[in-house]
Amino acid sequence: MRRRVMSLLGSPIRPLAIAVAAAWLPFAGCSAAGPATDATAPAKQAVVTFLEAIKRGDDEAARGMLTATARVKTAELGISVAPPVNDSATYAVRGCELVGDGGDVVHVATAWTDVDADGFQSTDNVIWVVRLDPEGWRVVGMAMRVFDDLPPLLLNFEDPEDMLAKQAMVAEEIERRATAGQPAAAARTAGKPDGRPAPARK
């Protein structure tokens, strides 16, 4: 079976996948500035472990940080969750907060920054949804805003069919807006590492 790459972070559009530009999502209950507390620290560490695995291209380790259901479902569809990324990629955790009354769901806000061969720097802001399962804190999904004028996009890793359908919708919308000359994505911050605006890409 041909493996499909679920590109969560990085370049704009890849074969069989979409890595969308993620603007800061005003997700209910998530603080962009709240530091990890004793209650949220394990969830934060789960996301750090997950992102470290993505950064080094370790698909097995990245998959191991998903919930048990997400691991099974993504494996059934042959989805790889840790596509190759540039060595220059860095990330930062910007905030963590418990969600709901059960104390078993945490939103972890992160920023992923990369610089391409042309010196073009971009930062994608993503909120990871982490749940406390019997085996520990595991990543269950992610939230992002792709277009300023459309609702935020929620990707549930336990329902990869729906996730792939949403990614296909985003790809079609990006293509439609590119053809119409409209902005394709919301608030991806970009520029040169020294702070100068990056040259226009053709």
- Do you know the residue count of the chain? 202
Range name among 17-26, 65-74, 98-107 with the lowest pLDDT average: 17-26
Report the amino acid identity of residue 31.
S
pLDDT digits (tens, 9 = 90+) for 79-131: 887 777 888 889 999 899 998 788 899 999 999 888 877 888 888 788 999 99
Measured over all CA atoms, what is the biggest interatomic distance in the chain, rounded to whole angstroms?
Answer: 49
Which residue, chain included where needed, has tokens 């104390």?
103
For range 122-150, the mean pLDDT: 88
Task: Return d(Cα 135, Cα 117) in angstroms, integer.
Answer: 40
Range name among 23-27, 107-111, 144-148, 171-175 with the lowest pLDDT average: 23-27
Predicted confidence band of residue 71 (pLDDT cuts 50, 70, 90): very high
Superfamily holding 4-191: NTF2-like; domain 1 (3.10.450.100)
Domain boundaries, the chain: 4-191
Exposed, middle or buried by CB within 10 Å (0-12, 13-18, 19+), for 169?
middle
Whether 2 has a pLDDT exceeding 60, the answer reads no
